[in-house]
Structure 1
Amino acid sequence: MSALRAGLRIARRSAWRARGRSTLIMVMIGLPILVLTALLTYLATVTVTPQEDLTARLGAADAHLVQIPEGTELQQEPYGASWHSDGNRPRWPGLSAAEVAELLPPGTRLIPYNVGVLRLGTARVDALETDLRDPLTKGMLTLSEGRFPSAREVAVTSAYGLRPGDILRPDGAAPLTVVGVVEHPHEPSRRMVVGPDLPLSVPEDIWTPDEQGTGWLADTTAPVPWAEVPALNKAGLYVISRAMITDPPSPLYPTGVGVRYTVAIGGLVITGMLVTVLMAGPAFAVGLRRRRGELAQIAAQGGSARHLRTIVLADGLVLGGAATLVATALGIGAGLLAAPVVARSGGRLGPPDVPWGPILGVAALGLLSGLVAALVPAVQAARQNTATVLAGRASTAGDRRGWPLVGAALVLAGLVATVVARRQSDTVWVYASAMLVLFGLLMLTPWLIRFTGRPAARLRPPLRVSVRDAVRHRSRTVSAVAAVFAVTATVVAVSIGSYSEYMDRRNAYTSARPTGMLAIWGGSMGDAAWSKLRGEAVRLLPGVSLASGYQIRDAENRRYTLRYIIRWNGTRTRRTVAVGDPVLLKLLQGRHDPRAVAALESGKAVVFDPAAVRDGKLRLRAGSTSGPPRTVEVPAVVATPAEEHQGGALLPRALVEQAGFRTVERQLYAMHSLPGDSTLWRDLGKVNSRITVASEMGYRNTPDPGLWGWLVGALVLVVGGTLTATRLAAADMRPDRATMAAIGAPPGTLRLVVAGQALYISGLGALVGLVAGAVTGVALSRPMTTRGAGDPATIAVPWPFVIAVVVGLPLLATAAALVTRTRLPLARRHL
């Protein structure tokens, strides 16, 4: 029998005898594999390729064409579309089906395919106006209940919650009867109404190429290739054809893997393997400690060092292989099951898809991690003293003298590389530099353990025993401490970088109006139209105090805008000044400011950006789309706005008129919050379409919630790794604890010895990880928060999160070790 085969048989039997330890190792190795496999499978399943989406978009048709609103220039390209709108509400040109058919090959058949919204009171529901009974729509929606609708009938998706026989009552139209329930192939959560004759409302926002508006499905006699798309765009049509998707042009961009991508993937692979190895390593060491007598007997019967290494490595192969197999199967199943569940809550769903290439790569890394985790115990098994083990005495391994110097050199090189990488625009180089620091600290860990063990004599007896035992058995302590500081450093670095980015975005947020202010702006309209619009606004907003704002025009009635430029949080920001009276000033300041009111009434500008005022003057640029630009300098005073993120300036009408302009009221302001279902824009738009309604919502982003996901991951890894190492320590310390019990130590003292090991391992790892993570996090803050030369980096530390990681997790691991049951079997003591 070959040595490998014998080693595999011994490893299998040993794994079955120690099922608890084997399960722990498999969980440590398999958990990352399960997560990655599930994520890869989920992403592959929810990602709908253009080829997979072809039937849902086109049915059996050859092309789908949508009208482009007037004033919009569109250019479709194989890798996206670019468009430019004049900023007004969409206005469709009204092309007829016959005019569209003339642009396509002769013999083309068109059926309507209009996308919009159906208004049901205060609710708006996505709606599709087409005939699902036509063969061209086959496969776009599947019928799950009832039948496809005909005139004055509709079908609804199952997410809408209606059943055949229910009635829909759209605004200003006859009721519609629900006769069928349909399903979208890739969007099970979509709420949509479908029928051949619906009272659609067109989108009220600026148009984007999302196929909204009037359109057709086309059954053409010849394909519609990319070569014909520019002509259709120029004619006012957005087009998606079967030939465009199935026969795209050759790639325009190189498909090779770049250096940045290679470094990023390499760093992720190395970090994942390192953490897995460090977490599983102590568990393999547990098995080695328990089997050292068995291995010593094999050595005494003629087994060589190579045989002992093979037996221990076989543990890694057997347990790593089993963990990889189980985790891969569970990960694929979890990914396939999670995709439809998540899609029901919102999102897309494609056909079940398993990306075997990446998954097999992850599985190979998992198997390799098991072997690498068993490598150090295998080397220790080959070097153990047979006589010492058979005599029942513990053996200790010495440190490698050159490792601290190599580790210090790597840390120094990593810090230098981090300083250089911090000035790059890409964060991947900071992560790559952090790997050098991480490996350097790993080599320094034995020295750190020995150094921190020196003050043990000043500790209480239980903690003194714990620390000295950890120092004496550095071979297992190093792995556990390194695993803790690797996880802690990663989490701390990510938290500092993410929170710095959040704070930078929050500090960069600025507005010319305080939060909660409603603004109504009239475009180019006459006095009579504005008077009518103003009266309607007063009627629709009863009891709301409205302040007036004014447009600036020259003698030839050309519209001008006054602006100035400042640097806000390192970014050049262009401000548009407002023109108004003390009523508007009170709204902008959120209070009555006598000094600012007096300045405004005396003909001075009130400015909320102190940097914009120089020598008591505000320099403005007057710009117009139809008139020549001008430069205006006006007297100004600085005042405090209602909120710290607020900027801008307010000019009195008299000051603007002194500069050679005239003012007309075309703006209304109020401190009023509109409800979510408000129809103010639509109602005012019925009076005049040249109207804009805006509500200042303030900064609404929140810190990355994914940070708490990192905390959960750190909780599992730090506490799990610490308890694994603590279990190993308890196994090694059985003779010592038995001696302590024999001389009268109470059970509480014995538990404190075990808990002290957990506190020492997790505490030392957390402190080292805090230092390493803080350096990397500060370095990450620069590329994540700067936007060009001269822009200072924002550095912010999420202290509650960091304290939870660095202080909370070690305390939790210690508490878990304190309540863990540690039985003391009878031990033989040598006198």
Structure 2
Amino acid sequence: MSGPRMTRSTFPDPRPPEQRERGGMLRWRMALKMSMRQSLKSWPSSVLVVLLVLLPMAGVAAAAVYAESLSPSAQQRVDAELGEADAWVQAPGMPSGVRQYLDDPNAQFEYDAASSHDWIEPPADVADVIDADRLVRIELGSAAVETVAGIGAFQVVLGETWDPLLEGRYTLLEGRAPTAADEVLATPEALERLGAKVGDSVEMTKPEQTVTVTGTMSSRLEENPESVLFAGRGDAYELDGYGTTWYAEGWHATAGDVYDLNDQGIIVFDRALVQRPGDGGQPVLERGSGSSWAFYSAATATLVFCTYLVLLLAGAAFSVSAKRQQRSLAVAASVGASRADVFRIVLFQGTILGLAGGLLGSGAGIGLAALAREWFGDGSLSYTWGLKVPWWMLVGLIIIASVVGTLAALLPARNATRGDTLAALRGARRPVSVSAKRPKVGLGLIIAGAALVVVAVIGLVVTYNLPTRDLALTDKVYPVGTIAMILGPLLLQIGVVTAGHWLLAQVSRLLGRGRLGGRLAARDAVANPGRSVPSFGAIAACAFLATASIGGVATLTNMQAEGHSSIAPYGSVVAWMSGGVISDDDDLFIEDPAAVAPALAALADDATQILRDEGAGSTVVVSVPAGPSYTSDSDGEMRFDGGQMLTTPEIARPEHCAATDECSANFYERSGGGNQLFAIVAPDGLDVALGTEISAADRSAFAGGAVIVTNPQWLTEDGSVVVNSWRPEDVQGMSDAVFDPEADPASLPSAAHTETRDGILIDTETVFDESHQVYISPDTAAELGITATPSMVVADFPGITTAQLDSLRASAESETFSRSTDEMSVDLSFSQAEGPPAAAPWLWLILGAVTVLVIAASAVSLGLSRVERRPDDATLTAVGASPGVRRSVNGWQALVISAFGCIVGTVAGLMPVLGVVFILEGTGQEGLAFTEVPWLWYGLLALVLPVAVALVSWLVPPRAPDLTRRTAIA
């Protein structure tokens, strides 16, 4: 016979009915005692199960403890916020009809929808509206201070922060409190940044004064302590405009008091109300941030996935363990143990081992969280609240671990009650038969899962393309379709596992015509479904997760790459400069380009020198056309100076027209959208600005007046670039007709002057944005009447380090403060031009992670297989089989189980990935095309990985057989 026999579920049970159990709790106690003895006796499999439960529980417990430790407890929060005060009060103003949450004053909700929502102007002082024994007023100001690295921006806390009422919120660490206007306190981190010590003098540039550091102070809730100073009340410092905080002593607010103050534009943080807000507290679903919910969602998904894997692999381990206990269980049955007793003995082993794994995993999780805090703790506010253990959450994890262990032992316990006691005492094994019902159920689930994905994809595409796609009814189709695309592959996997024994039987029939090793391996997998089916199910789950993750990463990086553009070549360092004239009402805008250009030119020289001092190679200054001078009236309308022109290149063949010959550029594209989209570069700096080598001929043509472009959309059919000159008032404030290619030309303004210049298309690795796709030389800019203003310095800076970037940014901060005046503000910043995110590193990471999981699952499966096959190995050796045959059986068995799981998981994971591809194509959205699906990675996952696992299994030599363990043939 070439395969296992098929049986019907209606096959009569030959076992005689049992009498009703007697003994009650005594039987449960005996079953529990025997379970503990069996767990200790079969300690290798017990350790395996404990480890399988322990590892995911330790990870989840560590994540829970680590996350809990990043935020303060309720008591820590009020102590840090208030110190010794009873409450604080702020008057930021708020719309009418809005109230604060009692436990989070900065979070507000609308309680009166009928309110006008007019802005409530708060009082300047709250002393008259609250009945407090004493108030301490604290304000925030700013200052520019000379540091070791240059000039830095500092926050100045103004007020008597050293008052005993604020002890805990602010703490005087060393020295004394300031007693004069030219004295300050500093945090220890700020003192280090200043390069000073207590008693030293420090120079300020805004305000211009010399101050003496009289001591150090800590600020409990400060995220950036290296930039904080403390001073008494005074008018020398510019207030930041963040409002004032009054700390109250001897005043406790009720909920009614808080709401009455809200009606006056005042919010309250009260010690008692924050800890016990009652109905006025913030709802749980609103309390966490988006990152917190994402974290807990990811942790929950991880726990569910790990639980599924543990159920499968621990179930396989219990199946092997139960078979090895067959004789012991038969002895118990022969002396009076009922089938229920046998069931409980095996089931309790799962409970005991699951409980042990949960307890050890929770303890390990606490230790891992403590180590993680030591490793990742950077001294910031999040790491100062101490280690917090969410005990109730850990108790829940321990209960989940016990349930998982119990469920993993459920099926092996059920199988242990079957069979003949006498045959078990002889050591005979019952022939395995394949159910005729399960393949039908599994096939139904497989078809249902695939159909669900197909219907979801078609439904989503059709719904999106309907004219009524934005109605409330059709909006419900989108979440339902998304859920169906996730549920479908899961049903397919469940179907494959349900029909797994039958599928393995079919593989066995195919391999039955092959070599001896393959035949024996396939038949062993069919003969032990309790071990083989969960094993390939676990591998399939890992492969499914990897396939879906690879597809998600590829889709995301593809979309980011398509929309990515840069202002400079990838990897280069850019010094970005901007500036403006300060008007009388402190609004920043460029009134006179001639007044700003000299300051930016000097700033460009300084930036070039800073870059060279840090080790940059070649540098080039990139300039942009100075915008036309204008003034703004009280209504915000721009008034341009007469006679000035706006000179722009014209998009001749827009990128979005590549798919059709009938598409043409609209007025917005022809006029540059009112922006002078030229980058002005000296000919000898083209290589650095474009990140590629320019030929001598192209450089010469560029110097002679040609225009270099990095995108063919700027070129006409004959390779020219059209340059238009417009009156600024004609282009600014155009209606929506500027985006309509079919708009009547008579309704649109005409260019005052048009000319064409030779175009040179340069192919670059960098995808530049539209403002940096058209390059002209300074001489060409002068010919076109363009006034150049330095915009950035591009430096070829290979291998720049984080420390160098930090140094450049510190220098930029110093330059910004030193060159800004009361009449003019300039800004310098440094950054590295980065290319689009690469998918390969993430794909390798995912493949590496799933490889570890697959190898781990395979190792568990194959390790159990080798243990369970020891009697068979002894029999093979006794009848003359060579070690090569046994090695071949190991390799083939690894190939069958791992290939089965990897292929099934990859196919299931491809379903949602291809569904997303077809949805994007069907709805005209940008994204991953069918040809861009990472097929190579899926080939590595589905085909190469199983072969590698099989090869490793073949290379590991089998254990020397123990001929005394030969199985009796019954």
> Into which bin does the TM-score normalised by the smaller protein fall?
0.7 to 0.9
| Alignment CA distance shift 1:385-1:620 (3 Å) | farther
Q: Which residue of 1 aligns with 2:310?
A: 276
Q: Which residue of 2 aligns with 1:219?
A: 247
Please tell me whether residue 296 in structure 1 is matched to residue 330 in structure 2: yes
Write the distance in 2 (CA, Å) between the matches of 1:727 and 1:751.
14
Q: Which residue of 2 aligns with 1:140?
A: 169
Describe how 1:324-363 pairs up with structure 2 within 5 A.
Answer: 324-335=358-369, 338-339=372-373, 342-344=376-378, 346=380, 348-349=382-383, 350=385, 352-363=387-398
The one-letter code matched in structure 2 to 1:815 is V
Q: Which residue of 2 aligns with 1:824?
A: 961
Write the distance in 1 (CA, Å) between the matches of 2:794 and 2:485.
46
Write the distance in 1 (CA, Å) between the matches of 2:430 and 2:143.
78
Write the distance in 2 (CA, Å) between the matches of 1:108 and 1:626.
57
Q: Show CA shifts across 1:611-645 (max 9, x none).
A: 99799979999987996437567777683464442
Q: Which residue of 2 aligns with 1:520?
A: 577
Q: Is the CA contact 1:551–1:667 (under 8 Å) kept in the aligned structure 2?
A: no
Pick the structure with greater CA Rg. Answer: 2
Q: Which residue of 1 aligns with 2:741?
A: none
| Alignment CA distance shift 1:737-1:535 (3 Å) | closer
Write the distance in 2 (CA, Å) between the matches of 1:555 and 1:381.
94
Q: Show CA shifts across 1:494-546 (max 9, x none).
A: 13212321232123112355443544344414255235314423542567543
Bigger mean CA offset, 438-447 vs 723-732: 723-732
Describe how 1:306-325 pairs up with structure 2 within 5 A.
Answer: 306-325=340-359
Q: Which residue of 2 aligns with 1:90?
A: none
Write the distance in 2 (CA, Å) between the matches of 1:581 and 1:735.
82
- Match of residue 36, structure 1, among 39, 50, 60: 60
Q: Which residue of 2 aligns with 1:71?
A: none
Q: What SS does the corresponding residue of 1:678 show, helix, strand or coil?
A: helix
Percent identity for Structure 1 against Structure 2: 19
Cα offset, 1:399, TM superposition = 1.8
| Alignment CA distance shift 1:603-1:644 (3 Å) | closer
Write the distance in 2 (CA, Å) between the matches of 1:724 and 1:18.
16
| Alignment CA distance shift 1:665-1:464 (3 Å) | same
The one-letter code matched in structure 1 to 2:961 is L
Please tell me whether residue 498 in structure 1 is matched to residue 579 in structure 2: no
TM-score normalised by structure 2 residue count: 0.68
Please tell me whether residue 666 in structure 1 is matched to residue 789 in structure 2: yes
- Match of residue 540, structure 2, among 470, 485, 502: 485
Cα offset, 1:712, TM superposition = 6.5
Q: Which residue of 2 aligns with 1:89?
A: none
Q: What SS does the corresponding residue of 1:23 show, helix, strand or coil?
A: helix
Q: Show CA shifts across 1:291-319 (max 9, x none).
A: 11122233344544333222221221222
Q: Which residue of 1 aligns with 2:603?
A: 537
Bigger mean CA offset, 3-12 vs 587-596: 587-596
Q: Which residue of 2 aligns with 1:442?
A: 497
Q: Which residue of 2 aligns with 1:59?
A: 83
The one-letter code matched in structure 2 to 1:278 is L
Cα offset, 1:269, TM superposition = 6.4
Write the distance in 1 (CA, Å) between the matches of 2:452 and 2:726.
46
Q: Which residue of 2 aligns with 1:685?
A: 820
Q: Which residue of 1 aligns with 2:896?
A: 760
Write the distance in 2 (CA, Å) between the matches of 1:813 and 1:118.
66
Describe how 1:85-484 pairs up with structure 2 within 5 A.
Answer: 108-114=135-141, 119-122=146-149, 129=157, 131-141=160-170, 146=174, 150=178, 152=183, 154=185, 156-157=187-188, 170=202, 179=215, 182=218, 184=220, 191=226, 194-196=229-231, 216-220=244-248, 225=258, 241-242=269-270, 271-335=305-369, 338-339=372-373, 342-344=376-378, 346=380, 348-349=382-383, 350=385, 352-421=387-456, 423=460, 424=478, 429-457=484-512, 460-484=515-539
Q: Show CA shifts across 1:139-178 (max 9, x none).
A: 12557x6556546564545798899967877555768668
Please tell me whether residue 775 in structure 1 is matched to residue 911 in structure 2: yes
Q: Which residue of 2 aligns with 1:551?
A: 626
| Alignment CA distance shift 1:605-1:31 (3 Å) | closer
Write the distance in 1 (CA, Å) between the matches of 2:557 and 2:692.
27
Q: Which residue of 2 aligns with 1:608?
A: 711
- Match of residue 9, structure 1, among 33, 39, 47: 33
Write the distance in 1 (CA, Å) between the matches of 2:153 and 2:836.
26
| Alignment CA distance shift 1:542-1:148 (3 Å) | same
Q: Is the CA contact 2:710–2:774 (under 8 Å) kept in the aligned structure 1?
A: yes
Q: What SS does the corresponding residue of 2:169 show, helix, strand or coil?
A: coil
| Alignment CA distance shift 1:601-1:342 (3 Å) | same
Q: Show CA shifts across 1:39-79 (max 9, x none).
A: 222212213478753443443454476999xxxxxx99769
| Alignment CA distance shift 1:605-1:823 (3 Å) | closer
Q: Show CA shifts across 1:120-157 (max 9, x none).
A: 222758665455421243212557x6556546564545
Please tell me whether residue 815 in structure 1 is matched to residue 952 in structure 2: yes
Write the distance in 2 (CA, Å) between the matches of 1:275 and 1:202.
62
Write the distance in 1 (CA, Å) between the matches of 2:380 and 2:483.
32
Q: Is the CA contact 2:644–2:728 (under 8 Å) kept in the aligned structure 1?
A: no
Write the distance in 1 (CA, Å) between the matches of 2:190 and 2:528.
61
Write the distance in 2 (CA, Å) between the matches of 1:302 and 1:569.
84
Write the distance in 1 (CA, Å) between the matches of 2:956 and 2:508.
25
The one-letter code matched in structure 2 to 1:791 is E
The one-letter code matched in structure 1 to 2:952 is A
Cα offset, 1:435, TM superposition = 1.6
- Match of residue 48, structure 2, among 12, 24, 44: 24
| Alignment CA distance shift 1:743-1:36 (3 Å) | same
Write the distance in 2 (CA, Å) between the matches of 1:638 and 1:248.
71
Write the distance in 1 (CA, Å) between the matches of 2:565 and 2:261.
45
Write the distance in 2 (CA, Å) between the matches of 1:818 and 1:417.
43
Write the distance in 1 (CA, Å) between the matches of 2:190 and 2:907.
51
| Alignment CA distance shift 1:44-1:412 (3 Å) | same
Write the distance in 2 (CA, Å) between the matches of 1:716 and 1:580.
50
The one-letter code matched in structure 2 to 1:307 is D
| Alignment CA distance shift 1:122-1:139 (3 Å) | same
Aligned residues: 791
Q: What SS does the corresponding residue of 1:348 show, helix, strand or coil?
A: helix
| Alignment CA distance shift 1:168-1:322 (3 Å) | farther
Write the distance in 1 (CA, Å) between the matches of 2:79 and 2:731.
48
Q: What SS does the corresponding residue of 2:789 show, helix, strand or coil?
A: strand
Structure 1: 5+ residue runs without aligned partners?
69-74, 83-97, 204-210, 234-238
Cα offset, 1:578, TM superposition = 1.7
TM-score normalised by structure 1 residue count: 0.77
Bigger mean CA offset, 744-753 vs 560-569: 560-569
